[in-house]
Structure 1
Amino acid sequence: MTTATAPADLALHGVRVLGFPTTARVAGRYGLARDAVEEALLDAEARGWVRRLAFGGSEGWSLLDAGRAEGERRLAAELDALGARDAVTDVHARFRPLNRRFGAACTDWQLHPTRLDPMAFNDHTDWRWDERVLRTLRSAGAEFAGLCAELGALLARFGGYPGLYAAALRRVDAGERGWVDGHDRDSLHLVWIQFHEDLLATLGIERGTDA
């Protein structure tokens, strides 16, 4: 049976997963009422878990260390109450090699080594190189969707990632190549790292320790 994470927990979790989001972005990602998210985050701010910041014309919520710890505590309690820790740990183990393959493809999208410059930027004039990378991203996306489906059957918040990935891939296939790794949109790369952060938070694993 799929479990829906409590709205207040999703609001706090969304700040971590989305990275400096607005209230509206958190609400939109999880299908929550904007007012409910705002109330939850104001309460979290009063408890020293998040802080609203504004700079450079942007405004959003930032997660504090205490909020990170509280979020992980809540997710761990949810996971253990569901009895799903072993299942999620198994998905994480199978995600790790897929994540390495995806990361290598993203590197190849950004760099195109030459004989004289092994760190040469990819200028995207070699369509064979780019198409090879895109084939890998499509293949990885199919496996990614399967893992998300397994997790989504347990925790509803994981169910949205395949649709976001597929939507970005359609934009890429239509020639909008900024949807591969753009950080100002739900690109393939951004959706992937958000999923990874969600999975790490769920299991209480520090980023960079699960390569």
Structure 2
Amino acid sequence: MPHPSSPDLLVLHAVRLKGFADTGGVAARFGLDAAQTQEDLLDAEAYGWVTRAAFAGLKGWSLTEAGRRRNETGLREELDRVGARESVAAVHDDFLPLNGQATQAFTSWQLGSMDAAAPAPTGDVLAQLVEIAYDLHPLERRLTAHLTRFGGYHHRFAGALARASEDPVWITGMEVDSCHRAWFELHEDLIASLGISR
């Protein structure tokens, strides 16, 4: 049976995956209770694991270096407790070639979008992303067989891809839960869980 991660681990991990988010965004990332998330964030702030900042009208939380280390320690301990390290490492190995394809597709999309003289980069790139979404699904199933916190990446990616035909911001936009955002978070999730670098 898949292991559900503890809420306090998920709060720190959500901050890492989001990079910068308000309390509501942190809670929403893993469907946590907002009031308890606020308490967990205040505790983490007292330990020096997260910090609050405000700029350009935005307020939110981000991890400190100590928080990053604490998050990685918690993830490592969870992997070992569940006995999922080898399985997650194997998924990461299978993810890497797919990540190369996704990175190339996102770059092609962004470069084509910036060139006003070029046609919109739709057909080929969208077809590549559809294939990537298809290949992502079994990788996620392998991960969620051990840890429930890995769930949702395929749904987010495929959902954003479906919306891209109406609005291309859903491919690489940072202001929405785009394909690129979901993909970036999955990559960060894997490397954080395994304690490796990109």
TM-score bracket relative to the smaller structure: over 0.9
Distance in 2 of aligned mates of 1:206 and 1:36:
31
Count of aligned pairs: 198
Distance in 2 of aligned mates of 1:192 and 1:50:
24
Partner of 1:78: 78
Shift of 1:122: 3.6
Counterpart AA for 2:138: G
Counterpart of 1:168 (choices 160, 163, 178) is 160
Partner of 1:99: 99
- The answer to whether 1:145 aligns with 2:137 is yes
Partner of 2:151: 159
Which structure: larger Rg?
Answer: 1
SS of 2:122's equivalent in the other structure is helix
1:40-98 superposed Cα distances (whole Å, 9 cap, x missing partner): 11000000000011111000001000000000000000000111111100000000000
Distance in 2 of aligned mates of 1:36 and 1:171:
33
Distance in 1 of aligned mates of 2:144 and 2:18:
18
1:18-57 superposed Cα distances (whole Å, 9 cap, x missing partner): 1101110111121110011111110000000000111110
SS of 1:111's equivalent in the other structure is helix
Q: How does 1:32-111 map to 2 (within 5 A)?
A: 32-111=32-111
Distance in 2 of aligned mates of 1:154 and 1:137:
26
Distance in 1 of aligned mates of 2:22 and 2:187:
21
Counterpart AA for 1:185: V
Counterpart AA for 1:141: A
- Cα RMSD of the aligned pairs, angstroms, is 1.4
Partner of 2:189: 198
List structure 1 segments (4+ residues) > 2 angstroms apart after TM superposition: 120-127
Distance in 1 of aligned mates of 2:17 and 2:184:
9
| Structure 2: gaps spanning 5 or more residues | none
Residues 109 and 122 in structure 1, CA contact (< 8 A), matched pair in contact too: no
Distance in 2 of aligned mates of 1:105 and 1:62:
29
Distance in 1 of aligned mates of 2:117 and 2:46:
48
Q: Percent identity?
A: 44
1:173-209 superposed Cα distances (whole Å, 9 cap, x missing partner): 3x211100000110000110011101110000123xx
Counterpart AA for 1:77: E
Distance in 2 of aligned mates of 1:154 and 1:6:
14
1:160-184 superposed Cα distances (whole Å, 9 cap, x missing partner): 11111121011113x2111000001
